């Protein structure tokens, strides 16, 4: 038995290539972040425009998209170990130390790459190793390209060291005759973190130095450097805007993949959006069960971020979509969602008319209490907040006409909210009965007549004390 087991283990087939890649991803969570950092740099610093972001993101895996969204919102996470300065008598090639900070630098083919300053010696050494590896790849390249460094080579190194933060400059030296003597002049390009722009500036400066050897070279270079510095500053200012556009494109692509709106609509309504019209979809929606409405509500909440209760109380707008357009929706899906939103609004408005006709205030008439997984009440709605929401509903023009009978005996009014209620009462044209709780004889004598005077014609005011005994009653007469 033991021989058979040993033979089976010895002759076991090797796992497929994706197995080890998956194990590396699980073992090192930074692998995805590193690949996402490389993709983000290619999209933002390359020749890709903001309009081409959605097309480019379609080819990326979902894990890379999630990591890219995390990098754009939170930045690339890197745990740097603190350093204590260079040891006495010991030097690290390529690493400079000044004012308690380190930075690494390499130069090859007239291109200087310099990292940002860091307080960690370990991080500076890691950055120096990455720059050395980058220089080795660029100098041992097989093809004879004019560029000292390519975007692909730098992005490959970004995957190995995601926290790499560098600036690119090009330095040229030329010999010139001045006053019969041979002198050396050095010119450089402005520093930038955009490799594509750095290579473009390098080619322009090299062309100027080649075309003008002696006559007017200094003036031409200085004029070009001023224009190049303006371009670098413009690029630096535009970078946050490109980052926001890329983040929006990534979020849209992830939403498109996660929710698959068309398929979910067909599954919920049991219709084929490609064969049936929106009119047929709405007709089927009117005969739907409450469970279908719950599923549609969940789907629409996923598409549009949940709004506040005050926003839900506003009247229907002329447009049926949120300010941020869902660009991944097809026209047919958009028409169906628009029709469903209109139909849902009409059904909800008719239901609200029925509920608000005889309204009784409770502490949870809009916000439900928070429950734990076992069903225990964790927190109850704040009564003062419910009073504020009630006043918003009473003052809303599209809802004020729906209130006929108001029972507010359990509403915890304070002085400020009671004053707002008095102002709102005159707008309730359909009000016929208002019931309030009395706060003593002085309140009944001073406050109740003021509230009664604010009632619309034909409305009745009834005030009850804590024992439920009626302490004030009055009916507002119609004008003659």
CA angle, corner 322, sides to 321 and 325, nearest 5? 80
- Is the confidence at residue 230, as pLDDT, over 80? yes
Distance CA 474, CA 126 (A): 84
What is the average pLDDT across 280-286? Answer: 61
Distance CA 251, CA 253 (A): 6
Classify residue 254 as exposed, middle or buried by CB count within 10 Å of its CB (0-12, 13-18, 19+). middle
Per-residue pLDDT, 76 = 65
Per-residue pLDDT, 86 = 52
Distance CA 325, CA 277 (A): 23
pLDDT in tens, 43-67: 888 778 888 888 888 878 878 888 8
Per-residue pLDDT, 374 = 72
Residue with the larger pLDDT of the pair 457 and 8: 457
To which residue do tokens 């890649």 refer? Answer: 21
Range from 21-25, 32-36, 181-185, 432-436 carrying the lowest mean pLDDT:
21-25
Residues 66, 254 contacting (CB under 8 angstroms):
yes
Q: List helix spans (H) across 290-402.
A: 290-303, 309-312, 331-357, 383-395, 397-400
Residues 47, 196 contacting (CB under 8 angstroms):
yes
Gyration radius from the chain CA atoms: 36
CA atoms within 13 A on the CB side of 254: 16
DSSP state of 20: H
Distance CA 421, CA 434 (A): 11
Model confidence at 2, in pLDDT bands (50, 70, 90)?
very low
Residues 154, 40 contacting (CB under 8 angstroms):
no
Distance CA 347, CA 355 (A): 13
DSSP string, 170-232: EEEEEEEEETTEEEEEEEEPPPBS-HHHHHHHHHHHHHHHHH-SSTTHHHHHHHHHHHHHHHH
Model confidence at 185, in pLDDT bands (50, 70, 90)?
confident
Conformational region of residue 98, where left means phi above 0, alpha means psi within -120 to 50, and beta covers everything else: beta
What is the DSSP pairing of strand 166-178 with strand 181-188?
antiparallel
Distances (CA, A) of 263 to 92, 290, 433, 435: 60, 20, 49, 50
What is the average pLDDT across 366-375? Answer: 74
Residue with the larger pLDDT of the pair 223 and 30: 223
Per-residue pLDDT, 22 = 45
DSSP string, 379-395: EPPPHHHHHHHHHHHHH
DSSP string, 82-103: P---PPTT---TTEEEETTEEE
Model confidence at 390, in pLDDT bands (50, 70, 90)?
confident
Per-residue pLDDT, 357 = 86
Distance CA 127, CA 122 (A): 9
pLDDT in tens, 466-479: 888 888 888 776 56
Q: Which among 127, 108, 107 is positioned nearest to 117, based on CA atoms?
A: 127
Residue with the larger pLDDT of the pair 109 and 317: 109
- Is the confidence at residue 259, as pLDDT, over 70? no
Residues 227, 261 contacting (CB under 8 angstroms):
no
Mean pLDDT of the chain: 75
pLDDT in tens, 398-449: 778 888 898 988 888 888 888 888 888 888 888 888 999 888 888 888 888 8
Paired strand residues for 106: 113
What is the average pLDDT across 342-370? Answer: 77
DSSP state of 110: T
| Range from 24-33, 307-316, 426-435 that averages highest in pLDDT | 426-435
- Is the confidence at residue 272, as pLDDT, over 80? no
Model confidence at 336, in pLDDT bands (50, 70, 90)?
low
- Is the confidence at residue 385, as pLDDT, over 90? no
């Amino acid at each position: 038995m033991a021989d058979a087991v040993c033979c089976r283990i010895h002759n076991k087939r090797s796992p497929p290539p994706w197995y080890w890649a998956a194990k590396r991803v699980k073992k090192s969570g930074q692998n995805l972040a590193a690949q996402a950092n490389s993709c983000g740099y290619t999209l933002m610093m390359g020749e890709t425009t903001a309009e081409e972001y959605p097309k480019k993101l379609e080819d990326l895996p979902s894990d890379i998209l999630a990591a890219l969204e995390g990098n754009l919102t939170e930045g690339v996470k890197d745990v740097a170990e603190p350093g204590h300065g260079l040891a006495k008598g010991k030097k690290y090639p390529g690493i400079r130390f000044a004012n308690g900070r380190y930075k690494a630098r390499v130069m090859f083919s007239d291109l200087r790459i310099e990292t940002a300053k860091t307080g960690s010696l370990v991080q500076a050494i890691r950055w120096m190793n990455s720059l050395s590896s980058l220089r080795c790849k660029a100098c041992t390249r097989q093809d004879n390209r004019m560029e000292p460094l390519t975007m692909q080579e730098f992005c490959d190194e970004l995957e190995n060291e995601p926290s790499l933060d560098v600036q690119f400059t090009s330095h040229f030296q030329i010999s010139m005759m001045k006053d019969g003597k041979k002198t050396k002049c050095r010119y450089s390009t402005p520093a930038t973190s955009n490799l594509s722009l750095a290579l473009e500036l390098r080619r322009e400066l090299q062309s100027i130095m080649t075309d003008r050897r002696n006559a007017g070279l200094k003036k031409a270079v200085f004029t070009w450097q001023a224009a190049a510095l303006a371009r670098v500053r413009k690029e630096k200012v535009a970078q946050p805007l490109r980052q926001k556009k890329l983040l929006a494109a990534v979020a849209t692509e992830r939403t498109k993949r996660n929710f698959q709106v068309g398929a979910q609509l067909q599954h919920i309504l049991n219709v084929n959006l490609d064969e049936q019209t929106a009119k047929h979809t709405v007709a089927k929606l009117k005969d739907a069960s409450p469970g279908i409405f719950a599923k549609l509500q969940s789907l629409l909440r996923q598409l549009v971020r949940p709004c506040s209760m005050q926003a839900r109380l506003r009247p229907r707008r002329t447009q049926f979509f949120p300010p941020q357009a869902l660009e991944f929706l097809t026209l047919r899906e958009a028409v169906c969602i628009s029709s469903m939103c209109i139909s849902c609004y009409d059904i909800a408005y008719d239901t609200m008319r029925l509920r608000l006709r005889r309204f009784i205030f409770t502490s949870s008439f809009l916000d439900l209490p928070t429950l734990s997984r076992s069903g225990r009440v964790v927190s109850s709605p704040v009564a003062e907040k419910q009073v504020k929401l009630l006043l918003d509903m009473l003052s809303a023009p599209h809802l004020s006409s729906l209130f006929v009978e108001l029972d507010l005996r359990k509403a915890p009014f304070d002085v400020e909210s009671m004053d707002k209620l008095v102002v709102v009462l005159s707008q309730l044209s359909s009000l016929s009965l208002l019931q309030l709780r009395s706060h003593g004889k002085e309140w009944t004598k001073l406050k109740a007549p003021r509230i009664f005077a604010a009632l619309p014609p034909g409305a009745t005011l009834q005030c009850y004390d804590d024992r439920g005994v009626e302490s004030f009653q009055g009916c507002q007469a119609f004008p003659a």
